[in-house]
Chains A and B, each alone.
Chain A
């Protein structure tokens, strides 16, 4: 079974609008971390935001916020006020604290239009 599921292969949004990228995860661990990375067309993997399973508040980093719903096992990325430069592939990942490795989803391609 997939541990990280990103159901949206592609998303379109207009500049200045907010967009939510979905991510659901599967783990039996009580302690884990969730990550979002951005991969623009240039290819590098850029860390965006982290949420720990015991964090009571949703993580925020500038225009990025993580909508963490533990009971539903979802960790959606919300980008507010989209910019053209947000057009990229976005990956959700999980690290179970019994392991040192990340498991990545297949990614969502976001296109921001003027």
Chain B
């Protein structure tokens, strides 16, 4: 079975531009998580969805960030306008209810905002 798929793997953009990160969760998983990883702050949960519905977006840094999940197999994280401090690795992860509920991570998107 394919794991979590993220695209693009690398993104370099200029300050002020819109950035869209994409994620396809593991088929059958009904939870999807977006994380951001930086050296300073470590791994931070930005938002998570259950059955395509956003449950907790308290980790989203500000209004420049938005996330959607239009269907069970696709989610986007958008930054508009982007700023240099948004440079980080963005991970998507998914899981489903069960005894362990292990989250499986995608390969991440390395974002650099110049």
A interface residues, Cβ below 8 angstroms from B: 33, 35, 37, 43-47, 50, 52, 91, 95, 100-102, 104, 106-107
Q: DSSP majority for the B interface? A: strand
Q: How far is the CA of A112 from the CA of B105 in the complex (A)?
A: 24
- Bound Cα distance from A106 to B37, whole angstroms: 11
B50 close to A100 (CB less than 8 A): yes
A100 and B50 CA atoms in complex are apart in Å by: 9
Chain A nearest CB, measured from B52 CB (Å): 14
Q: Are B108 and A43 in contact (CB under 8 A)?
A: yes
Q: How many angstroms from the CA of A37 to the CA of B104 in the assembled complex?
A: 10
Does the CB pair B104–A101 fall under 8 Å?
Answer: no
Within 8 A of A (CB), among B58-114: 89, 91, 93, 99-105, 107-108, 110
Q: Are B103 and A102 within 8 A (Cβ)?
A: yes
Bound form: Cα–Cα A37–B108 in Å:
15
Contact B33 A52 (CB under 8 A): no
- Counting contact residues on chain B (CB < 8 A from A), the size range is 20 to 34
B102, A47: Cβ atoms closer than 8 Å: yes
Contact A104 B100 (CB under 8 A): no
How far does the Cβ of B4 sit from chain A's closest Cβ, in whole Å?
10
Residues A47 and B42 in contact, CB atoms below 8 Å apart: no
In the complex, the answer to whether B43 meets A91 with C-beta atoms within 8 Å is yes
B56 CB contact (under 8 Å) in A33, A45, A101: A101
- List chain B residues, Cβ under 8 A from A101: 33, 45, 48, 56
Min Cβ gap B14→A in Å is: 23
Structural contact, A100 and B55, CB atoms closer than 8 A: yes
Contacts A35-B102, A95-B101 known; 15 new A-B pairs at CB < 8 A: A33-B100, A43-B89, A43-B107, A43-B108, A44-B105, A44-B107, A45-B91, A45-B105, A45-B108, A47-B102, A47-B105, A100-B31, A100-B101, A102-B45, A104-B43
Cβ-defined contact, A107 with B48, below 8 A: no
Which residues of chain A come closer than 8 Å to B110, judged between CB atoms? 43
- What distance in Å separates the Cβ of A100 from its nearest Cβ neighbour in chain B? 6
Choose from B56, B91, B99 the contact partner of A52 (Cβ within 8 Å).
B99
